[in-house]
Amino acid sequence: MTEYNFDPIRPYYLDELPAALERIVSNEQFDHLMNYLFPKEEHEFLITKIKQSKNTHEFQLGFMLPVIRSILNKTAGEITVSGIENVLGKQGQVFIANHRDIILDSSILALHLATHGFETCKITWGSNLMISPFIVDIGKANRMITVYREGSPKEMLRNSQLLSAYIRETVSKKNQTVWIAQKKGRSKDGTDITDVSVLKMLSLTGEGGAINSLKEINPTPVTISYEWEPCDGMKVRELFLSERTEYIKEKNEDFLSIIGGVVSQKGRIHMHIGEPINHLFSELNANQRPNDVLKDIAKLVDHQMHQNYMLWPSNYLAYDLLNNTTKYAQEYNQETKENFNERMNKTIESINGDKDRIKELFYKLYANPVINKLGA
């Protein structure tokens, strides 16, 4: 049996937590965070809660969940959840999720889990986002698993095996949950499609083929739907520039995306926790090539995501604008039109280039969930 050293990717151990929490509250970035999120009179109480945290669970309940609630109170409307009955509780599972915001997607799942009495999930987090010691400490103290995506083919395979083994141990041996995005990076065009390479990674360290390997970790689709897309302008900009040249991120772009997702107005947010897909595996042709089996499993995930996406007035409006129709005119009002146009015009003004193409990409970002749901 292969022995793995999980130190490069694991969250902090219990004995590493006190020093990390001390570094967090001593960092000047922490002061900025506190000043933005909380009234001055609450600071001392929250800092005491952090310093008194004996484990990650106490740190999350005492500080991180109030942080998420404060962000949502400032930037979102109603926050709802459905499908909580699909959380297995005493069994581990991997939540395979669509990805629209760097921080909030997984944080909102953790918030719902904690609110309903479940343990929060571990969260996969790209190494490109570990952009400062402060972020590293916050992440590793917050049950984050580091995902390394760069390197030679040999290094990438080794990284995938390590990640796969860690997730498998977390879920099947410790009966804990893990959140992972269905593909590398956020959806930039409003379409949620599972990358087969994610499923391949998850199945790498199991036995008995992809189906049996994935059954062991109870893959469960999770769909988050924002009324107003976090960082919509930045996503459209990246898509537009990518059509014309190889897109290279600016040095601080990941940080700006994190901040943009936190501070931008998002309207209403709904999350649906889907059914674990294990019971659907019997319908698959297990005699296909392994990659084709994984493609069929990806379709099972995508079908649930598209079906369970909560469509908002902004989505229906964009569909009608994209297709020059009034099919869904009863689903939106003048206020939706004004908000939509304001966000779109701000995006158009921020990008040099073909205004009609930028407008089309903006429409598609919001319209594609409608198109996908019609297809599902």
DSSP state of 61: I
- The percentage of residues in the chain with a pLDDT greater than 90, rounded to a whole number, is 87
Residue 15, C-beta contacts closer than 8 angstroms, at least 6 positions apart: none
Domain formed by 14-227+266-310, architecture: 3-Layer(aba) Sandwich (3.40)
What is the pLDDT of the chain when averaged over all its residues? 94
Q: How confident is the model at residue 253 (pLDDT cuts 50, 70, 90)?
A: confident
Pairwise CA distance, residues 374 & 368, whole Å: 10
Residue 249 burial (CB count, 10 A): 11
Q: Which is higher by pLDDT, 151 or 109?
A: 109
Residue 172 burial (CB count, 10 A): 18
Secondary structure (3-state) at 273: strand
Is residue 311 pLDDT above 70, yes or no? Answer: yes
Q: What's the average model confidence in pLDDT over 149-170? A: 93
For residue 309, count CB atoms less than 10 angstroms from its CB and return exposed for 0-12, middle for 13-18, buried for 19 or more: buried
Q: How confident is the model at residue 129 (pLDDT cuts 50, 70, 90)?
A: confident
Is residue 1 pLDDT above 70, yes or no? Answer: no
Query: Tell me, what's the pLDDT at 114?
Result: 95
Query: Tell me, what's the pLDDT at 131?
Result: 84
Termini Cα distance of the chain = 42
Residue 176 burial (CB count, 10 A): 18
- Residue closest to 376 by CA, chosen among 318, 323, 299: 299
Pairwise CA distance, residues 50 & 300, whole Å: 41
Q: What's the average model confidence in pLDDT over 307-333? A: 98
The domains of the chain are located at 14-227+266-310, 314-375
Provide the CA 238 distance to its chain's centre, in angstroms: 18
Pull the structure tokens for residue 294. 């994984």
Is residue 200 pLDDT above 60, yes or no? Answer: yes
- The percentage of residues in the chain with a pLDDT greater than 70, rounded to a whole number, is 100
Q: How confident is the model at residue 277 (pLDDT cuts 50, 70, 90)?
A: very high
- Residue closest to 171 by CA, chosen among 119, 93, 273: 93
Pairwise CA distance, residues 313 & 298, whole Å: 28
Residue 181, C-beta contacts closer than 8 angstroms, at least 6 positions apart: 96, 97, 98, 99, 105, 124, 198
